[in-house]
Structure 1
């Protein structure tokens, strides 16, 4: 099955005929995508069109896979030396005289490490993006060091990776892998990927899977034992390398790349909260990182412009959507994620404020940032907005439901219209966000995180804040319920509970039961109180990022919020007594 919209060609090399597909403008920089095992080039069918918007994209079926022919005999026909011959033949055919940007996944990455470190390919590779596939030479040295100088930690690393590599031993057995792939395993493989790896179906895997997998077993037999026993001592990368590590990879330990800098002078590291088959499950994320890296190399800067933030290794390149991002805690949160290298969607009712936050996010380190305008209380508008975000930017990795309004006054002075307005924004806005974007996360099946901004008022009663406190208490309980429901899907939910934070909410808060002059006076007095307290929203933003990293359930941010939280659990009567006090207005 050819990649949709691709131009097909055949390349002859070493007694085999390779099926090559091309997309995009041939005059643009060339990006070559190399698939892994037991895949064919169609594993890239979601990534390639995204890259083709800016680059000349080339995919090819590795010998013996897909529409490429197999060597005869199979034994000895899949060595890294012969795979290197194939790559060079493809590169010469699609990009004569100009180096290509190489991208490999799984065994595509294993062989691409060979291309990026052997001398005969030097000058043909401008950059290399590796995911879920180590250099066999580097792996051989990694194992050797742990055997020569064993420590409890190193032995644990060896045992851990040994357990993850169980399938490698099976693939070295004669005949059995071929029988399994051509029999029951080949038939059940698509369903296994959907259930275990959460890989969507559609055009993947292709009907050639049983034959591809049977042939591909020789990738392991022809290379693994030989290279691990005698790894090359000169396996140094001659091009900048971007390493993308899925944190949930069932087959490879993160520790395999611990000493990679000694082999790669120009190394950029990325991590992704996903499982092994990221070309199928996270195509938007991969396309964004590959684009940024390739454009950086083409522009003369092999290191991407980024991420100085504290959590850069955790959030780099992830898609983060923040509501109420035009000011205050929302803006600070958007900028904190931007400093960590995340892609940011800044959402606010005020289009100009959202645009300012998006611009500041780009300056702070976000690879890209967008401004969007929507009323979070409008269910139909949020439906359309969620569909637009998924189509334009991809599925959100982290959702921050932060938009909110303030309302103060006696319960009997609070009209049904007042109640509706505060609940529509503070509660229904959170419900809409969780329902729409949370559902997209769940359907993608690769986890994510939802952060809901509640308040210390959620558990600290006050005679002056019945509507506001009720809305925030509902957000807190909704967050707890969602956390329980979504835990099995790998989606974390955190409720952030700030106290007195110096933001613009005081200038827009409404005070019911008083005339306009008194409302203005109370608003100014409250703003002065918050200003004197002067707790910056940046500290709340840091708590948001920390909550995602640690998957915390409820985070009381300010000292007064933490104190009230403690009292609510130990001596709730004291909080009730404080609630009876007349506020100093």
Structure 2
């Protein structure tokens, strides 16, 4: 990990933006993958470069997984390699199981699972060829671990990416490549309807033990830590960043058991 080149997908806003900036602060050159928000990507690139490192904004569209993987390959070539790859781009969806359509089901799995699989495969192959190890972080969701009503396609896509993370970690460990998943709970981002100017502390969430949504930079801080040499012994795990949200399912189970 002496080289410092990172690529982050979905980096024009939200968690991806915060991750790109966090990695730049640690001295990484950063590839900034985006789909439609070119202006946002340009602004992120300027913030990355303000830390004295290189930035490369590049377009990728996960609805075409092969083309997205090729875009990652081109970005890695232009940057001179890749040492950290963050699979952050994805989409959310809610539809009841009885009403979900095959077309929408396939779209969510294509964007959230197949696209990240092919992009990570490109990054991993380059890391192996470089011979200096690497880090791969897949951004999933707490709904990789627990279901939500209306989340049949979303939960399946994130659950699949979570288990793929473990297979990747197992197979890539001999090459010095660690692979982990970071699973955010509710996070205050533009994708979730919260403008960047509004702090998460302004939003009350009584169902979350911490009492608020997460900040994008709080998720990014964990991702950036996983890129560091001190995280070399962490691989094949899912690390929630959820303000204690997952604890609530345990409390509910305890309460239910107490009534039996």
Q: TM-score range by the shorter chain?
A: 0.7 to 0.9
Equivalent residue for 2:22?
Answer: 336
1:511 counterpart residue number: none
Q: Please report how far the alpha carbon of residue 378 of structure 1 lies from its aligned counterpart in structure 2 after TM superposition.
A: 1.5
**Kept in 2: contact 1:354–1:373 (CA 8 A):** no
The equivalent residue for 1:560 is: 244
Counterparts of residues 310-325 of structure 1 (less than 5 Å):
318-325=4-11
Q: CA deviation at 1:562?
A: 4.9
Contact 1:540 1:557 in 2 (8 A): yes
Displacement after TM superposition at 1:362 (Å)? 1.3
Q: Deviations over 1:262-316 (max 9, x none)?
A: xxxxxxxxxxx25xxxxxxxxxx5xxxxxxxxxxxxxxxxxxxxxxxxxxxxxxx
Q: Could you give the per-residue CA deviations for residues 167-202 of structure 1, whole angstroms, max 9, x where no partner exists?
A: xxxxxxxxxxxxxxxxxxxxxxxxxxxxxxxxxxxx
1:362 to 49, 72, 92: 49
Q: How high is the TM-score relative to the length of structure 1?
A: 0.38
- Residue 379 of structure 1 deviates from its aligned partner by 2.9
How many angstroms does 1:366 deviate by?
4.2
- Alignment gaps of 5+ in structure 2: 195-199, 205-211
> What is the aligned length?
237
- Listed as ranges, the gaps of 5+ residues in structure 1 are 1-272, 275-284, 286-317, 509-527, 578-585
Q: Distance in 2 between matches of 1:429 and 1:479?
A: 14
Structure number with bigger Rg: 1
Give the distance between the partners of 2:182 and 2:243, measured in 1 at CA.
13
- Per-residue CA shift, 1:86-145, capped at 9, x if unaligned? xxxxxxxxxxxxxxxxxxxxxxxxxxxxxxxxxxxxxxxxxxxxxxxxxxxxxxxxxxxx
1:536 aligns with 2:210: no
Aligned CA-pair RMSD: 2.5
Instruction: Tell me: CA distance 1:383–1:537, structure 2 relative to 1, closer, same or farther (3 Å).
Output: closer
Structure 1 residue 483: Cα displacement: 0.4
* Structure 2 contact 56–75 (Cα < 8 Å) conserved: no
- Tell me which residue corresponds to 1:228: none
* Aligned counterpart, 1:402: 88
**Shift of residue 548, structure 1, vs aligned partner:** 3.0
Q: Distance in 1 between matches of 2:225 and 2:137?
A: 11
Decide whether the 8 Å contact of 2:63 with 2:115 is kept in 1.
Answer: yes
Structure 2 counterpart SS, 1:344: strand
Aligned to 1:426: 112
Superposed CA deviations along residues 63-88 of structure 1, whole A, max 9, x for unmatched, are xxxxxxxxxxxxxxxxxxxxxxxxxx
Counterpart CA distance in 2 for 1:396 and 1:548 is: 12
Aligned to 2:137, the other structure's residue is in SS state strand
Give 1:546's aligned residue.
225
Matched residue of 1:413: which SS? coil
- Offset at residue 384 of structure 1 (A): 2.9
Verify the 8 A CA contact 1:455 1:496 in the aligned structure 2. Answer: yes
Deviation at 1:561, TM superposition (A): 4.4
Cα distance between partner residues in 1 of 2:247 and 2:85: 27
Residue 175 of structure 2 aligns with which residue?
489
> Equivalent residue for 2:253?
574
Structure 1: distance between partners of 2:85 and 2:74: 15
Question: Which string of whole-angstrom CA distances, capped at 9 and with x for unpartnered residues, describes residues 21-74 of structure 1?
Answer: xxxxxxxxxxxxxxxxxxxxxxxxxxxxxxxxxxxxxxxxxxxxxxxxxxxxxx
Separation in 2, partners of 1:492, 1:561: 26
SS of match in other structure, 2:227: helix
CA contact (8 A) 2:66 2:118 kept: no
Check whether the contact 1:401–1:429 (CA below 8 A) recurs between aligned residues.
Answer: no
Shift of 1:369: 0.8
Q: Which runs of at least 4 in structure 1 moved beyond 3 Å after TM superposition?
A: none
SS in 2 for 1:559: coil
Query: Alpha-carbon deviations, 1:465-523, whole Å to 9, x = none?
Result: 11111111111100011001111110000100111111122249xxxxxxxxxxxxxxx
Q: What is aligned with 2:100?
A: 414
- Contact 1:454–1:475 under 8 Å retained in 2: yes
In structure 2, the residue matched to 1:464 is 150
Q: Taking CA–CA contacts closer than 8 Å with sequence separation of 6 or more, which of the two structures ends up with the larger relative contact order?
A: 2
Judge conservation of contact 2:138–2:181 (CA < 8 Å) in 1. yes
The Cα of 1:398 is off from its aligned counterpart by 0.1
Which moves more between the two structures, 491-500 or 552-561?
Answer: 552-561
How many Å separate the matches in 2 of 1:502 and 1:355? 21
Deviation at 1:455, TM superposition (A): 0.7
Give the TM-score normalised by structure 2. 0.83
